[in-house]
Structure 1
Amino acid sequence: MYAIVDIETTGGYADNNRICEIAIIIHDGQKVVKEYQSLINPERSIPYGVQAIHGINDAMVADAPKFFEQAKTIYELLKDNIFVAHSVNFDYSFVQKAFVELGFPLQLKKLCTVRLSRKIFPGYKSYSLGNLCDHRKIIINDRHRAYGDAIATAELFTQLLAHDTEGVIEKTLKKNASNVNIPENLNKEVYEALPQAPGVYYFLNSKSQIIYVGKAKDIKKRVSTHFGGNKGEIAKQAFQKDIYHVDYLLTGNELIALLHESHEIRKHWPRFNSAQKNNNPGHCIFLYEDRLGYKRLQIGRKQNGMKTLMRFANHAGAFKFLVDKSKELNICPKMAGYQSSPTECFDHKIKECEGACIGDESPESHNKKIKAFIQLCDSEKSDYIFIGKGKSQEEMSIVMVEGGSYLGYGFLHKEEAISEWEDLKNYLQKFPDHPEIYKILNSETATKGLKKIKKDDWLQQKIRLSQAS
């Protein structure tokens, strides 16, 4: 038995809205055997914009029963039946939420007439209820009201059952038992074909535009998590409705997946990504010389014309490094740029600064400390590579950093006998440098299981890539 449901609501998502009308049509697989409809008092005002869609206003529902007053009747109609609706996740999310608020979770098998129509009646440009009914010669009386749409959906479902020569409905019910609620506009076969391997995945909309980029150790498993959970959230409903296709790129390991995801988010600016969605250049430690010949340090945003000694993802990281290293070298805090004063710095007052801030320490003596600071910065910017798994058993991956800057990543055959450091660059796909990259490269989790080799060690030990792997 099938319970074909249509609802009208006070808004477009279940978390902050309520049902204001519901219709349930019971179908035995051949014909309609029972009908139910009722306005529902949502216990809140219906916005004018929503009233314009379905025509239900506050006066119409003022004396209507509240959901809890009809809950027993509605439950008896739904229990033990398969919940059917056009864009089923929308209707189901509201009905389920209404029962959850009464302390009674509802768990039913579901069928979506949008998804079924795409398989059983392929080739239409649009699968909205109105367009489908036009194609299938189904008359909708009272469009955008619960009973009118529910009866039309019931007639559509009758036709789907009659034309289902390949057992699509039965197969769908079996597949849905896995609790992976594939979005209505995404072909199930696309999801089933996703690899269970590390990589980057892309959700595309109806215009093949990228709307979300993610990374995963297991692409198929990670993608499935986007389709579970509470469909009542406005963002999740809009998100899933816009997913028409899933594309992917295999990366061989999680590090490259993270690096490529970071690049793709900044490149495509996907609608539903929020993390890393910025062009923040980070913070830098700059070097400049004042009119008295003292070399000075300063933290700021990256800018042209200033010599950059180090780059950091944020101000906090730059400040900590600057203070720690300056204290280690006994550099005047004012000259290091983290104390400001019209005269002497605070540390000089407590006799912990040699007085470059007031001229007691000569430029020559002070600048030797700055030179040592520059050398510390250079030592932090070592050249190195990460070696990891490739996209196949015969392949390996490399990620290269040189001069403190990320160059990119690449793949090559395990048997490549490369001994020259410069030759490794021929296998790289180059990518722009960005502060976010260093959070990834410095993450123990992201680099776990990969081998890190510094350039000096490579050259001194005459390492060949085939040996290093």
Structure 2
Amino acid sequence: MYAIVDIETTGGYAARNRICEIAIILHDGEKVVKEYQTLINPERHIPPQLSAIHGINDQMVEDAPKFYEEAKTIHELLEGNIFVAHSVNFDYSFVKAAFQDLGYELKLKKLCTVRLSRKIFPGLKSYSLGNICENRGIKINDRHRAFGDAIATAELFTQLVQHDTDNHIQKSLKKNAAVVNIPENLERTVFEDLPESPGVYYFLNQKSQIIYVGKAKNIKKRVSNHFGGSKLEVAKQAFQSQIHHVDYYLTGNELIALLHESHEIRKNWPRYNRAQKNNSPGYSIYLYEDRQGYKRLQLGRKQTGMQSLMRFPNHASGFSFLNEVSKKLKICPKFAGIQSSPGTCFDYSVNLCEGACAGEESVSQHNEKIQAFIDHCKAEKSDYLLIGEGRNINETAFVLVEDGFYKGFGFYTQEDSIEHWEEFSNYLIQYPDHPEIYKILSSEHATRHYKKIKKEGFLKRTESA
């Protein structure tokens, strides 16, 4: 399937500009089978000189969806198809940059209708879309708008296919196919034997030391991306010459790949991994008691040996939780560690604090609120499982969290009869807890294919059975 794309933008190059309109026409090689178009809010000003060309201004895109809101639909239309456009590198660079901003790498085969037209319809003075469509009798409705130009490009593509007696389209696809340049110190058989399954892969040097760790939905495809492209592009990756072996660990799904990758990077500190080399212990809410007997809360860096009520990957998430819950329970913000002052808190001066900081609220009354905060934290730290696909059709994968702490992951088969919660520990591969893990477990994208089962729900189900 061919995805014929046309975009309108806020400027001439993708590094500093954004898409403000996109149209995608799916073409099966003979005819159009699907159409899609939408304005996009580029989240920046559209210069008047560009508006004069395509007619799109700031007011028109003010209520339009942002790219990330349409990204799933756009990705579904493009995935697995051949990206076709008139001057394809322009359109492709913008779409690729938009997905890169969301953390996705767009890798599609491309066809340029300008280049194909020069070969299949030679001899024209100009191969601009307007000129070649006029020459071929193709009417362009709404010129310089994404949908109008995309429909015209689709009609042009139909004619290119019909007149391609020398197979220029197939030759272009073959020429542009990704080249896998195996590093000189890596045996090709090692690469060829890599699985096309989810997991974590390792690049090892001559001394069998791990120099890079990555995760992938398809290990072989992802590794080939490291080696793909021209020799000049490969040379830009300094570690290519140091790769003597590729190892891997199958996980069955992306979530466990993410969890295992995070652990392996922090465990091995590979030379060429930049991300996740942060051993920050995160932040915690601590409980202590002052000389008057008032129990107080404090948000700070996690410290070894101190028991925390709740843990957070960063200060912002911890402060948000502390502020929200303490306000709900009417805990003095000074005693909650939210405000600091030599005297009473600011809220007391505007009658929003019940006076613990002024000695007007009794120790017992205040400490009851702190106990309610502690109970709230305990309720938040429930025991649960995330259940998903394993490494084969008979296997199930699980991630275990108990008392709010990540315990690790494991796998079990249909033959393993698990009737009690404690039995999951028999199949658990234990891993150390880390703030980075909670970013992964709280990601809807990472956990979207998993079913969450709380301990109390599991116990009720087994008891009723």
The alignment's TM-score, normalised by the length of structure 1, stands at 0.60
1:293 counterpart letter in structure 2: G
CA deviations on 1:405-445 (whole Å, 9 max, x unpaired) are 11111111123221100011111011111111111111111
CA distance in 2, matches of 1:183, 1:214: 17
SS of the residue corresponding to residue 334 of structure 1 reads: coil
Q: Rate the CA distance shift 1:201–1:412 in 2: closer, same or farther, 3 A.
A: same
* Residue pair 1:284, 1:299 contacting (<8 A) in 2 also: yes
2:365 counterpart letter in structure 1: S
Q: Where does residue 456 of structure 1 map in the other structure?
A: 456
CA distance in 1, matches of 2:349, 2:230: 61
Q: Where does residue 49 of structure 1 map in the other structure?
A: none
Q: Rate the CA distance shift 1:303–1:179 in 2: closer, same or farther, 3 A.
A: same
Alignment of 1:331-410 (within 5 A): 331-410=331-410
The runs of 5 or more residues in structure 1 that have no matched partner are: 1-173
CA deviations on 1:128-160 (whole Å, 9 max, x unpaired) are xxxxxxxxxxxxxxxxxxxxxxxxxxxxxxxxx
Q: Where does residue 206 of structure 2 map in the other structure?
A: 206
* Residue pair 1:231, 1:237 contacting (<8 A) in 2 also: no
Q: Rate the CA distance shift 1:181–1:235 in 2: closer, same or farther, 3 A.
A: closer
Q: Where does residue 215 of structure 1 map in the other structure?
A: 215
Q: Where does residue 433 of structure 2 map in the other structure?
A: 433
* Residue pair 2:179, 2:229 contacting (<8 A) in 1 also: no
* Residue pair 1:287, 1:306 contacting (<8 A) in 2 also: no
* Residue pair 2:334, 2:357 contacting (<8 A) in 1 also: yes
CA distance in 2, matches of 1:280, 1:222: 29
Alignment of 1:35-434 (within 5 A): 178-228=178-228, 236-434=236-434
Q: Where does residue 43 of structure 1 map in the other structure?
A: none
* Residue pair 2:202, 2:214 contacting (<8 A) in 1 also: yes
CA distance in 2, matches of 1:447, 1:343: 46
CA deviations on 1:85-111 (whole Å, 9 max, x unpaired) are xxxxxxxxxxxxxxxxxxxxxxxxxxx
1:279 Cα shift?
Answer: 1.5
CA distance in 2, matches of 1:421, 1:261: 27
**CA RMSD of superposed structures (Å):** 2.2
1:245 counterpart letter in structure 2: H
1:230 Cα shift?
Answer: 7.5
1:307 Cα shift?
Answer: 3.0
1:188 Cα shift?
Answer: 1.7
CA distance in 2, matches of 1:231, 1:302: 47
CA distance in 2, matches of 1:339, 1:186: 59
* Residue pair 2:178, 2:229 contacting (<8 A) in 1 also: no
* Residue pair 2:178, 2:228 contacting (<8 A) in 1 also: no
SS of the residue corresponding to residue 303 of structure 1 reads: coil
1:277 Cα shift?
Answer: 0.8
CA distance in 1, matches of 2:385, 2:336: 32
SS of the residue corresponding to residue 337 of structure 1 reads: coil
1:462 Cα shift?
Answer: 1.1
CA deviations on 1:189-242 (whole Å, 9 max, x unpaired) are 211111111100000111111001111111111112222357667994312111
CA distance in 1, matches of 2:235, 2:374: 48
* Residue pair 1:354, 1:360 contacting (<8 A) in 2 also: yes
1:305 Cα shift?
Answer: 4.7
SS of the residue corresponding to residue 227 of structure 2 reads: coil
**Higher Cα radius of gyration:** 1
SS of the residue corresponding to residue 462 of structure 1 reads: helix
Corresponding residue pairs, total: 292
1:394 counterpart letter in structure 2: N
1:256 counterpart letter in structure 2: I
Q: Rate the CA distance shift 1:293–1:231 in 2: closer, same or farther, 3 A.
A: farther
1:318 Cα shift?
Answer: 0.7
CA deviations on 1:55-109 (whole Å, 9 max, x unpaired) are xxxxxxxxxxxxxxxxxxxxxxxxxxxxxxxxxxxxxxxxxxxxxxxxxxxxxxx
1:358 counterpart letter in structure 2: A
CA distance in 1, matches of 2:232, 2:179: 16
1:177 Cα shift?
Answer: 6.1
1:181 Cα shift?
Answer: 2.3
Q: Rate the CA distance shift 1:359–1:392 in 2: closer, same or farther, 3 A.
A: same
CA deviations on 1:307-352 (whole Å, 9 max, x unpaired) are 3100111111111111111111111110000100000101111111
User: Could you tell me the percent identity over the aligned residues?
Assistant: 65
CA distance in 2, matches of 1:389, 1:311: 29
Q: Rate the CA distance shift 1:179–1:278 in 2: closer, same or farther, 3 A.
A: same
Q: Where does residue 90 of structure 2 map in the other structure?
A: none
